[in-house]
Amino acid sequence: MSMDLTGTSITLGIFASNRGPGDPERASIMSQAGTYLAKRGAHLVCLAENGDIPVPLITAARTAGGKVQIVADASIVLPAALSGVSMEVHQTQPERFNRMAELSQGLVALPGSLASASGLFGTWAAAKAQSRAMPVAMLNRHKAFEVMRGYAADVLSPGLPGHERAVQFADSIEDLWSRISRLVTEGR
């Protein structure tokens, strides 16, 4: 079952991993982000691979009345709590990254594991290959993306004029929404 979310509101590709080492508060952060973004009318597209589904994010967004679509690999079996969520299965990771890029107007990364960062950058690269400017906002809670923030300041800034319009870091979910919604709206 497929649902095209690109024609309505703001559609965000959101990357959040619920497995492996990472922020111990990530389930709570996912729930807060899902609720906050959905209440502001954002539609969420989530990547689910290798059995990793951001269930707290999806559940909270749906409870708040939001629309969610999942782009997944064949390993994903939705739990009963997510029945009715639209899910597309794509066999290869490049296909999944391309689909995430096609559906999304902006990308959001929440503190999680390396899988979240990998999915984010794979999708960003796919959007770039499609000649689409894709703004990115990362929730830097507990300095989860501090290394990337340093990289952006030290490496991107000299070689990529206007990088601050492409990649931004937020310290709260409210700030994250403010940044990504502004970037997406300015890019329309």
Please report the DSSP string for 31-53 in residue order.
HHHHHHHHHTT-EEEEEEBTTB-
The H-or-E segment that residue 29 falls in is: helix 26-39
- pLDDT band at residue 133 under the 50/70/90 scheme: confident
Token pair in block for residue 28: 């709570």
- pLDDT band at residue 3 under the 50/70/90 scheme: very low
Return the closest-CA partner of residue 54 out of 8, 119, 137, 127: 119
Indicate if the pLDDT at residue 30 is higher than 90: yes
Return the closest-CA partner of residue 47 out of 15, 6, 86, 83: 15
Helix axes 55-63, 26-39, angle to 10 degrees: 30
CA 141/CA 52 separation, integer angstroms: 21
Q: Which amino acid is at 135?
A: P
Higher pLDDT, 137 or 7: 137
- 134-184 pLDDT, tens per residue? 899 999 876 666 556 455 555 555 555 554 567 888 999 999 999 999 999
Which pTM does this prediction carry?
Answer: 0.86
